[in-house]
Amino acid sequence: MSPLPPRDRPVLLLGAGSDIAQALAHAFARAGHPIQLAGRQPEALATVKADMEVRYRVPVSLHGFDALATGGHRAFMQALQPPPHIVISAIGLLGEQARSEADPQAAELVMRSNYIGPCLALEAAAELLRGIDGPTAIVGISSVAGDRGRAQNYYYGSAKAGLTQFLSGLRQRLSRSQVQVLTVKPGFVRTKMTAGMPLPGALTSTPEALAERVQRALERKRHVIYSGKWCTVMAIVRAIPEGIFKNMKF
């Protein structure tokens, strides 16, 4: 992706406490990249930091970051030393649809966590990366839930749809720069967030498999990727006429 070696291209993980973020951190550390782990409770990541430093012999740093404290995003990005060359947002909150329907504050938290916070963080990242000489990248973890609204998760899905459209617009705005913008749309992934859910085996991925897919997509200059077979699945779902789709139960 760049003439610079991995050791000179730090990777910043926003929402670093998630299983997907940590799988990505391990994948990029294994390739030789310095890692910057950012989350609301960075002290909880001390064991992860120590493990990666010993295992991969790369620098790993911890940073306090609250995606919902949007006023501080630009200052946070500008203060990072060394500046990251790849910024990955794994920020998100699944929430509970029934609770969101009944409680406006719960609904707002889901929407802010999946749309407003990540978007403004990545806007700040874009401004930082545009000032770096050479290829850089932004990766946003969205969801297949944003491809079409479903009764079971339309608060979460609509927020992810907003994130997907934001990344599309950001990609177009940065198209003449050296900043690559990659949208990642996982389907079911076995993580703490989905623990206890009845996940279909054939359509369920792992954080490690998704991390490998992200790395390949960056190398190949891809714009949008799905996990597993979800590209085909969602193409079929999007093609269902609305009059039929609204009466379906899935």
How confident is the model at residue 108, as a pLDDT? 98
* Mean pLDDT value of segment 95-111: 97
pLDDT at 200 over 90: no
pLDDT at 1 over 50: no
Determine if the peptide bond prior to 82 is cis (ω within 30°).
yes
Query: Residue 40 and residue 243: Cα distance in Å, rounded?
Result: 43
How confident is the model at residue 196, as a pLDDT? 61
Query: Residue 79 and residue 66: Cα distance in Å, rounded?
Result: 15
Tell me whether residue 81 is exposed, middle or buried, using C-beta atoms within 10 angstroms of its C-beta: 0 to 12, 13 to 18, 19 or more: exposed
Residue showing tokens 């749809």:
161
Contacts of 30 (CB under 8 A, 6+ apart): 56
pLDDT band at 205 (very low <50, low <70, confident <90, very high): confident
pLDDT digits (tens, 9 = 90+) for 145-192: 999 999 999 999 999 999 999 999 999 999 999 999 999 999 877 666
Question: What are the phi and psi torsion angles at 9 (to 5°)?
Answer: -130, 80
Q: What is the mean pLDDT of the chain?
A: 93
How confident is the model at residue 94, as a pLDDT? 92
pLDDT band at 249 (very low <50, low <70, confident <90, very high): confident
Nearest to 126 by CA among 77, 90, 79: 77
Q: What is the pTM of this model?
A: 0.93
pLDDT at 239 over 60: yes
How confident is the model at residue 189, as a pLDDT? 77
Contacts of 50 (CB under 8 A, 6+ apart): none
pLDDT digits (tens, 9 = 90+) for 34-77: 999 999 999 999 999 999 999 999 999 999 999 999 999 999 99
Structure tokens at 18: 């998630």
* Mean pLDDT value of segment 125-151: 96
- CATH superfamily membership of 6-245: NAD(P)-binding Rossmann-like Domain (3.40.50.720)
Radius of gyration of the chain (CA): 18
pLDDT band at 201 (very low <50, low <70, confident <90, very high): low
- Residue 176, classed as helix, strand or coil, is coil
How confident is the model at residue 204, as a pLDDT? 79
Question: What are the phi and psi torsion angles at 92 (to 5°)?
Answer: 175, 160
Query: Residue 75 and residue 78: Cα distance in Å, rounded?
Result: 5
pLDDT digits (tens, 9 = 90+) for 75-101: 999 999 999 999 999 999 999 999 999
Structure tokens at 186: 């996982």
